[in-house]
Structures are given as C-alpha cells and as structure tokens.
Amino acid sequence: MTQKFDFHVNGKPVSLSLDNEETPLLNVLRNELGLMGTRFGCGLEQCGCCMVLIDGVPEKCCSKPAWSIAGKAITTIEGLGTPERPHPLQQAFIDEQAGQCGYCLSGILITAKGLLDKNPSPTRAEIATALDSNICRCGSHNRILRAVEKAAAQIRAGAKL
C-alpha cells in the first residue's frame, strides 16, 4: 500500500509517497530526491559513509526505514555548504587536504558537524571517538582530525556557518 511521508530535508519540506515504507532513507535521498552526496558503502551500518543528521544527531541511513523519519528534519552534505560558500568544516578539509579518494568524506563531515554543533571545543580524543563509526579506507585519519580541529577553531573565532 502506498504510504505518504512528510519530513524536512536541508530545511525544505518534503512530501513523498512510497510503495514500500521499509525503503531505506539512503535510497529515498539518492533515488527519490536526487541528493547523491550521501554515499552507499557497506549497506550494513558498518562504514559510516551514509551518515546524515536526523534532528541534529548523526545517524547511518542505509538501513533506516523511511517510516522512521516521518516528521523529522534531515540534513545531508548538500545542506552544509556550497562550492561558492563552503561550511568551515568543508573549507578546513580542503585546506588540510583531508581527503584522498573522498568516498568517506560526506559521512565524516556530517558526523563532525553533529559533534561541533554539540561540542564546539572538542579534544582530539573526543573527535576521534565521535568519528569512530566512520571508516576511511585511505587512512587519512590524521589529516581528518587536524581538519576538524581547524574548523572548530574557526567556528569559535566567528567563521560564518
């Protein structure tokens, strides 16, 4: 039976009808809404590259059924910044060359945003703990940690969000 879902994505209201309410949120974002920044990696909630913010909390969405997001606010990587006006996290990742292949980065940026929204002055250990669920197979971990620290400092100094 077709089900209708109302929720918000990147600040915009979305109303969607789906034949299968168990359709994962990741498929909804990519296939129904054309938001391709959120990546499919393992599909098993193991790698973190499908991370989005749900009501401000970073969550993997590859196995999260559509019915569970009704009425909620989703933020994807497309909601962080633009090439012309990057979020301080995105700028810091560019400055620190924190990506290699880049496949993990949208998930890592979303997790980092969730962390900095909650804790603007995280220690390196707190950043590493927050990013524990995000796998980077390229091994860019040190540069990623440096980039998150840099973004946190810039946001504290008043960088525009």
Quick one: which H or E segment has residue 54?
A: strand 51-54
Asked if 25 is part of the footprint of ligand FES (rule: CB under 6 A), the reply reads no
CB of 107 to ligand FES, least distance (A): 8
Query: DSSP class of residue 65?
Result: B
Nearer to ligand FES, 121 or 129 (CB): 129
CB of 73 to ligand FES, least distance (A): 20
What is the footprint of ligand FES within residues 87-146 (CB under 6 A)?
99-104, 136-138, 140
CB neighbour list of residue 60: distance below 8 Å, 6 or more residues apart = 45, 48, 50, 51, 133
Contact pattern for ligand FES over residues 41 through 60, marking x by CB under 6 A: xxx-xxxxxx---------x
Using alpha carbons only, give the angle 125, 101, 48 rounded to the nearest 5 degrees: 50
Tell me which residues touch ligand FES (CB under 6 A): 40-43, 45-50, 60, 62, 99-104, 136-138, 140
